[in-house]
Amino acid sequence: MSNDLKKHLKDYLNYLLVEKGLAKNTIIAYQKDIEQFINSLAQGSEQYSFQKIKTTDIINFLLSLKKNNISPSSIVRKLVAVKGLFKFLMMENIATYDPTETIESPKIESKLPKCLTQEEVERLLDQPKVTTLIGIRDKAMLETLYATGVRVSELISIDIRNLNLEVGLVKVLGKGSKERIIPVGKIALKYLTQYLSEPRQILIKNNLCNYLLFVTVAGKTFTRQGFWKITKQYAQKAKLSKNISPHILRHSFATHLLSNNADLRTVQELLGHSDISTTQIYTHINQEKMKEIHRRYHPRG
């Protein structure tokens, strides 16, 4: 496998972990699927790069799986993994061509995204120690994530010049370089104000050219993986048993808004979804919750 493929595969797997919040076992399966596909290309030539991959390569890979009596569900998963990789490469402007675009995936039942209850969110957000430099930064990050519902990649890329504390709005750059403006909320604003009053200045080490809102202890850019580890640590302290990733706060943001009768179109705009059907999946979570309550409490449930 060429070095560029290794690097982009690693970045994709980190994206699945942090942005998509997939379970580790699922990510391991995807990694094996993609490595199997890559090794099938030109007998696994070290010089083979993703830019050389053609649609026929993928079709031949799928045909070989079928010929070797691999189960249909496993073939679908492998195709989903490969399609996801190229979708990621396109999204990151690494690839200019998606060889999987014309290959349709068989319909599989989509799982509802996991989300936290409001009480669980409170427990998670209460974990950072706001009396410390890092604690106030982490508190501001988690509060902003839940208050705005932004993606992790959007959170760690926020330009401080795009945050207006006076009016309580932040501008983020989403998928496809689309900008959107999102309300921040008074609690998140409170901790952002505290963070900006002194802790950030210490963290950036007087590097006035650093316009990132959130930075690491070394004053550098956060990675998705780095923020995932921080979130995981606080989730463990909060004794949350669910598979926690930063993305679960985005799911919780949407679910809690809709639970409190927020307009679907507004939630779509806040999340930056181009297709409202993506947002509608959160209404299904509420429906499942209602069905569970009905089953539990109705005499004929």
**Active-site amino acid positions:** 151, 175, 247, 250, 273, 282
Do the beta carbons of residue 234 and residue 176 sit within 8 Å?
no
Q: Phi and psi of 110, rounded to 5°?
A: -85, 140
Can you name the residues that pair with 183 across neighbouring β-strands? 169
- Distance, in Å, from the CA atom of 20 to the CA atom of 50, rounded to the nearest integer, reads 23
Which is nearest to 279 in space by CA: 113, 119, 91? 113
Amino acid at 152: V
- Distance, in Å, from the CA atom of 241 to the CA atom of 15, rounded to the nearest integer, reads 22
- Distance, in Å, from the CA atom of 237 to the CA atom of 188, rounded to the nearest integer, reads 21
Do the beta carbons of residue 279 and residue 273 sit within 8 Å?
yes
Residue 68 class from Cβ within 10 Å (0-12 exposed, 13-18 middle, 19+ buried)?
Answer: exposed
- Distance, in Å, from the CA atom of 171 to the CA atom of 181, rounded to the nearest integer, reads 4
- Distance, in Å, from the CA atom of 174 to the CA atom of 154, rounded to the nearest integer, reads 6
- Distance, in Å, from the CA atom of 94 to the CA atom of 132, rounded to the nearest integer, reads 39
